[in-house]
Structures are given as C-alpha cells and as structure tokens.
Chain A
Amino acid sequence: MAYSEKVLDHYNHPRNVGSLDKADPTVGTGMVGAPECGDVMKLQVKVNPTTGIIEEAKFKTFGCGSAIASSSLATEWLRGKTVDEALAIKNTDIVNELSLPPVKIHCSVLAEDAIKAAIDDYKKKSAHV
C-alpha cells in the first residue's frame, strides 16, 4: 500500500511535534491508544480563556505513518479554531484530506478521539477555575 503525497509530507515533516505544559490550566491534554496496533497518540491544545480560541496545538504520536499524518494535520487545523469548531472536526475530514485507504481509517479515528479528549480535558480544567 502506498501512502499518498500528503501523508508522506506530514510524515516526513510533521508539524507541531512536541508538548505543552500539562499543568497549565489553559492546556487540554488528550491521550488515546489503538489496541490493535498498540499505537499511542498525545495531542494538546492551548486555549485563550477569554476568546476560546486555540492558540497552540502540539502532538506526539507513536504509530504508523497515517496516525502521525492525521495528528499532524489535526494540529494544523486546530490552531485558530474555537473550541466548538474543533469539536466539529470529523475523522472523515482527515480521511478525505489525506486520501487514507480503508485499512487506515482507524488511524484517523484515533486523531479525532485525541482532539475530543484534549478539548474535554480543557473544559474540565477550566470549569474549576
């Protein structure tokens, strides 16, 4: 199976790899895993609490090329979006953008789950401040 151009591009030049301070109350962290392949993905967002806009997004993924590309793309999309817009990102959007084949769909699901988990975490944290 050949990876698409876009997947390769993200894979070779992943955007926004790294991590944000988990303890920061404006940072939401999502950690998800796929049991079939054992892949794990961490995705973090830093939200401006007054505007609700995601100012920074970082990820680190241990997994296949499609999972890395999906999370890299996700962080690109997240930046500048509001929290609610972020929640509207669907794995099918990622599949289409990256032309992922059917066997790689679960990799994009992982990215969607990671976004949801990160936003969830942020919301929980900000509810307490």
Chain B
Amino acid sequence: MKLYEALGLEPALALHMEEVKKHFYERSRQWHPDKFSRASAAEQDLALEMTAVLNDAYRTLRDPVSRAEYFLKERGIELSKDAPAELLEEVFELNMALEELRDGDASVRAQLEQSAAKFRSMQMVSDTELASLFIHHDAAPGPAKLDQIRAALNRRRYVSNLVRDVEKELHVHSAN
C-alpha cells in the first residue's frame, strides 16, 4: 500500500495519530526540497514528488475514516451501495421537516435541531465502533472483519452527510 510505504508504516487500520505525525515529519524533513537545491534536476523532481506523496499519505492516514476507506479500496472493496434501511424512515421525516423549513415554517427548527443532535451522536457511536473494529481487524485480519468495517463506514458516511445537510439548511434559514 503506497501511502503506508511512503511514511514507512506497516499497513494497519488502528494507527496512532502521533505515530503517523512523527513519521510524516521525519520523512518530510528528509525529502524537503530545500535540501535538494544543489542536486540534479532529476533528484529535485523526485524530492518534489516524494513531498507530494507524503502530504497525501499524511492527509489520508491521519484520519481514521479516510484511512479505512483507503485501506478497503486497496483491498479491492467498494463501499456498499445500500442506504441503511433502518434509517430511511427517519431520513424521510427529516426531509419533510426540511421542506417545511424552506417553506418558511420556523416551528420545525426545534425538531430539526433534535435530529441533527441525534445523528451527531450516532456519528460518535460509529466512530467508537470503528475504532474497536480496527483493533480487532489488525489483531486477526480477515474478509468478514473487513466486511463489518465496510458496513460501519457506509453507515457513518451516510449519517455524516445527513448531519452536514441539516446543519447547512438550519444555517441558511437562520437569518430570516
């Protein structure tokens, strides 16, 4: 896995932020373009390219969600295409309330804020769930565990999109 290699890390799902950061700083110093100011053009290019890869690796691997998405993708696993069925009813209600808000009915604000809070806490639960799935996976990797991770990631992504949408609407319609 290219991004792990770039940072000199073993491919694993559970990583400490500090560790990723340490590796990133070390490698970045090593490849800093300033150090190559008197090197050949080819070496300068390489230094630039390595710096870009390192930045990409750091950005992707420091965040647990993007790290896991990358990890699954490298293993050839696509995020699933099913919307979490158990959430549909609520999402529908949420959309109804959003529509009323857009039509100028401010009385639904409280309801929307409540759902946003609820989805935010679901997001936190997902994060904890993912963290423990990561540890289990690293201890004994296997397709079944990757599949669980995929489902959890999918759900988390769906929920965080919802939170984003609701917050945006609440914000847009707060002025009037």
Residues of A within 8 A of B (CB): 31-36, 38, 40, 42, 60, 62
Residues of B within 8 A of A (CB): 80-85, 87-89, 91-92, 95-96, 99, 154, 157-158, 161-162, 165
Given A31-B88, A33-B88, A35-B154, A40–B82 Cβ distance below 8 Å? no
Determine whether the beta carbon of A33 is less than 8 Å from that of B91.
yes
Determine whether the beta carbon of B81 is less than 8 Å from that of A40.
no
For residue A120, give the distance in angstroms from its CB to the closest CB of chain B: 13
Determine whether the beta carbon of A35 is less than 8 Å from that of B95.
no
Q: Tell me the interface secondary structure of chain A in the complex.
A: strand
Q: Tell me the interface secondary structure of chain B in the complex.
A: helix
Extra contacts besides A31-B92, A32-B88, A40-B83 (20): CB < 8 Å? A31-B89, A33-B85, A33-B87, A33-B88, A33-B91, A35-B81, A35-B157, A35-B158, A36-B81, A38-B91, A38-B161, A38-B165, A40-B88, A40-B91, A40-B92, A40-B95, A42-B92, A60-B96, A62-B92, A62-B99
Determine whether the beta carbon of A34 is less than 8 Å from that of B83.
yes
Residues from chain A with a CB closer than 8 A to the CB of B92 are: 31, 40, 42, 60, 62
Give me the 5 closest cross-chain CB pairs, A-B, nearest first: A33-B83, A62-B95, A35-B83, A31-B88, A33-B88
CA distance A34 to B88 in the complex (A): 10
Residues from chain B with a CB closer than 8 A to the CB of A42 are: 92
30 A-B Cβ contacts within 8 A? A31-B88, A31-B89, A31-B92, A32-B83, A32-B88, A33-B85, A33-B88, A34-B83, A35-B80, A35-B81, A35-B82, A35-B83, A35-B84, A35-B157, A35-B158, A36-B81, A38-B83, A38-B91, A38-B158, A38-B161, A40-B83, A40-B91, A40-B92, A40-B95, A42-B92, A60-B92, A60-B96, A62-B92, A62-B95, A62-B99
CA distance A38 to B80 in the complex (A): 13
CA distance A31 to B147 in the complex (A): 25
For residue B154, give the distance in angstroms from its CB to the closest CB of chain A: 7
For residue A123, give the distance in angstroms from its CB to the closest CB of chain B: 18
- Nearest to A62 among chain B residues (CB) is B95
CA distance A38 to B158 in the complex (A): 7
Residues from chain A with a CB closer than 8 A to the CB of B96 are: 60
CA distance A40 to B161 in the complex (A): 13
CA distance A8 to B84 in the complex (A): 30
Residues from chain B with a CB closer than 8 A to the CB of A34 are: 83
